[in-house]
Amino acid sequence: MTALLEISGLSARYATGAPVLHDVALSVAQGEFVTVIGANTAGKSTLLRAISGVGPRVEGSIVFEGTELTGIAPHARPRLGIAHVPEGRHVFPEMSVEENLAIGAHARGAHASGKAAAPERLEMVYGLFPRLKERRRQFGGTLSGGEQQMLALGRGLMLDPRLLILDEPSLGLAPMVVEEMHDRLVDIHRNGVAILLVEQNVSLALSVASRGYVLQSGQIVLSGEAGGLLQDDRVREAYLGI
């Protein structure tokens, strides 16, 4: 499979701290669903931030569709087709659902080639999340936690991304909402969008993704087919408590 995202020799550190990522190599093929699992502070969010260019200082290479990202400004990366939905919901509380979604379309830029028109994207997002359509005039801040997470995800999709990077989309949600969220991720993936998912819920992440990486203290210590990782004793002991 052709690589959509190819990371190699990636190290990252924050201005104020010690190195967080060490010589990380990871790839996502066109249309692939990949997950990164690991304990708290392993560096999962930092890895996603390095891809979107917000936060850590990086060394190494992050190539997206043949373009080296490390020299590209963070605000220009969404226009290449990368949507980052960070941890926490980050909706604009005093803007309507539809205004929140419009911001996503704006971030993609008006002239991106191959971009579906914003009204089509909006219908696609409303098709995936009918509850957002019902509440399109409601302020973002008045939505339930699950609805806000869906709005954050919908805003990312308004970018018409080729790669969706998601940080803990199920954090703090009730189990039924978590399942709904993961069903929607499967739908989005079926529509041809590649997904890189960071998730605390390891069994769920490995059941929706096709491949996974285990990040430990900033290093990839294990990787492979999701089904294989789910059966791996090291994963079962460390992350599933089995």
Note the residues at the interface with ligand ATP (CB under 6 A).
14, 16-17, 20, 38, 40-46, 55
Give min distance, CB of 103 to ligand ATP, in A. 24
Residue 159 structure tokens: 């970018």
C-alpha 100/C-alpha 158 separation (Å) is: 10
CB atoms within 10 A of CB 176: 9
> CB-wise, 127 or 172, nearer to ligand ATP?
172
- Position of tokens 């990164």? 36
Mode of pairing for the β-strands spanning 33-37 and 211-216: parallel
Quote the least distance from Cβ 204 to ligand ATP, whole Å.
15
Comparison of 17 and 130: residue with beta carbon closer to ligand ATP: 17
Give the type of residue at 180: E
Q: For residues 25 and 124, which CB has a smaller minimum distance to ligand ATP in the complex?
A: 25
In angstroms, give the least distance from the CB of 45 to ligand ATP. 3
Q: From the CB of 55, what's the least distance to ligand ATP, in Å?
A: 6
Closer CB to ligand ATP, residue 200 or residue 210? 200
Instruction: Choose between 160 and 199: whose C-beta lies nearer to ligand ATP.
Output: 199
Q: Closest separation between CB of residue 56 and ligand ATP, Å?
A: 7
Burial of 87 (0-12, 13-18, 19+ CB in 10 A): middle
Question: CB 200: neighbour CB atoms within 10 A?
Answer: 16
Give least dist CB 43 to ligand ATP, A.
4
> In this structure, are strands 19-29 and 163-167 parallel, antiparallel, or unpaired?
unpaired
C-beta of 12 vs 82, nearer to ligand ATP: 12
- Residue 3 has phi, psi (to 5 degrees) of -75, 135
User: Residue 67 CA to chain centroid, in angstroms?
Assistant: 19
Q: If phi over 0 gives left and psi between -120 and 50 gives alpha, with beta otherwise, what is residue 100?
A: alpha
